[in-house]
Amino acid sequence: PMAGDLDEQRIIELVLQHGPPQGRHPLPDHPAALPGDDAALFAPQRVVTTDLMVEGVHWDSRSTEGDVGYKLAAVNASDIAAMGCRPTWAVLTLSLPRPVAAAWVEGFARGLGEGLGAFGARLIGGDTTASPGPVFAGLTMAGEGSAVVGRDGARPGDRVWVTGTLGDAAAGFFDGDPAGLAWLRRPRPPVELGAALADMGLVHAMMDLSDGLARDLARLCARSEVGAVVDPSLLPASPAVAALPAARRLQRQVAFGEDYQLLFTAPPAAERAIRRLGSVLDVAVSIIGEVRAEPAVCLQGAEWPEPMFDHFPVTGRPEGAAR
């Protein structure tokens, strides 16, 4: 197939098709030991994830080199939190164009250190190489938790929850909202809340919101073999997002991504404990819908907006904004 015929999901599927079914050392007998979650379980109560950021795709001139380093730590920590774990260590890969700008590297390293420190991880190694083009920065991060949570446990009747507010990064990118732009450059995923929800056994399924609610909820439901209905009037919004016209507000909240909040499902009986935990940790938590047995993922009274970004747009589909 031509490159334009493959979207991101299909590329992942093709790569996985050619991997060996098992390695020399057996992995834990757990769904999260297989591809498909925010991080992979590689030992009891231990997970690992990786993220790559590319100049011109994941950041532009509105971000400083320190922002890039901080965000690289944050997006990995978000994946670890989504598994109900806390970050422990990380390794870095960095590919830089020649001549190497010492000031850029120092600023990036300072931001990376700030991010790793904020989320409790330590840098233990990595690799560097020259790049013939833009900067490539990749981080692999490990985490540990008492009870790993994947995307596969959602059950009919569960409430669908999110943390924080949705659409802030999109409002920063497209509408120039200063607070949204600050979140886009340096997101603050609720790492401790994710780990605490798992520690207390309050959630059935969880993931982070990086590609937008529309895509990410569909992925969680597919992994759990369930559906869901979301009430758009319940989507939490910052004042800047709430002030947008209704159609644009919905698009920003569900179709762009870069929220780096938690999306999780929990039984109704857990509501009081979840709200109390959110209050203790100073993280806003909101119920936005309900898990259903039917496989459809529906937006009550509305249609899901088209995604605003795709790394690998299929031929004929608009690419949207680069990020």
Pairing of strands 261-266, 40-43: unpaired
159-299, superfamily in CATH? PurM-like C-terminal domain (3.90.650.10)
CATH code of domain 37-144: 3.30.1330.10
pLDDT score recorded for residue 322: 38
Looking at the chain, the domain(s) classified CATH 3.90.650.10 span 159-299
Of 178, 199, 193, 154, nearest to 37 by C-alpha is 154
Position of tokens 């943390």?
163
Q: Per-10-residue mean pLDDT for the chain, 323 residues long?
A: 56 59 53 58 79 89 93 97 96 90 92 97 92 92 93 97 98 95 96 98 97 96 97 98 97 96 99 99 99 95 79 40 39
The set of residues, in sequence order, having a beta carbon less than 8 Å from that of 275 and lying 6+ positions away, is 285
Of 248, 234, 238, nearest to 300 by C-alpha is 234
pLDDT score recorded for residue 314: 42
Position of tokens 């700008």?
101
Q: Alpha helices, DSSP H only, in the chain?
A: 8-17, 65-82, 102-119, 168-175, 178-185, 191-199, 213-224, 239-242, 246-254, 271-280
In angstroms, how far is the first alpha carbon of the chain from the final one? Answer: 25
The DSSP annotation for 137-159 comes to EEEEEEEE-SS---SS---TTPE
CA distance 148 to 111: 29
**pTM summary value:** 0.85
The secondary element (H helix, E strand) that includes residue 86 is: strand 86-97
Looking at the chain, the domain(s) classified CATH 3.30.1330.10 span 37-144
